[in-house]
Amino acid sequence: YKPLVAIVGRPNVGKSTLFNAIVKKRISIVEDIPGVTRDRIYYDAEWLNQEFTMIDTGGIEFVDSENHIFTSMRYQAELAIREADVILYVVDGKAGVQPQDEDIARILRSSGKPVILVVNKIDSVELSMNIYEFYSLGLGDPIGISAVNLMNLGDLLDEVLKHI
């Protein structure tokens, strides 16, 4: 049994980029257009000799009765709550707090699962102030990272290990 670490968040916040950075292989597809991910969503990773499995819930899709493919953030969050040992809740530090972020935060807060609030797109020290508004989500101390610049991923993974 390997601990399961799930990545949850709105489209385009950088979930697949973070997933790739952690598993160090480009196996998720990163797209500029929200919702077009066709990822491999599970992958084994390790940090400091601790192995775990990552899930990018943004890659979970549904086909409805009319064959439309869609994603449901609520379902992705509920799946993460059910299956994961730790949830990485990723938000966009450039976009700021969005109404959908609050909806998902509410679901995650009531889950009782360990949730790490990850403010992505903090690409430079100048942007580091952008993390503070995310305290309003009620999920504790936000961790600012840049998935593209690989900034602060070590601190994030240290935090993950505290919960597994």
Q: Which of 152, 73, 149 is nearest to 116 (CA)?
A: 152
Cα 52 to Cα 5: distance, rounded to the nearest angstrom: 7
DSSP tally for the chain: helices H, then strands E: 4, 8
| Residue 120 near Mg ion by CB under 5 A | no
Per CB under 6 A, contacts with ligand GDP among 71-90 are none
Report in angstroms how near the CB of residue 64 gets to ligand GDP at its nearest: 21
| Residue 131 near ligand GDP by CB under 6 A | no
Ligand-binding site membership of 113 (annotated): no
Cα 140 to Cα 134: distance, rounded to the nearest angstrom: 9
| Residue 58 near Mg ion by CB under 5 A | yes
| Residue 37 near Mg ion by CB under 5 A | yes
Stretch of 33-41, 74-82, 114-122, 132-140 lying at the interface with Mg ion (CB under 5 A) = 33-41
Taking each helix axis as running N to C, give the angle between helix 99-109 and helix 73-83, from 0 to 180 degrees, rounded to the nearest 10.
Answer: 30
Binding site for ligand GDP (CB under 6 A): 9, 11-17, 30-32, 37, 58, 120-121, 123, 146-148
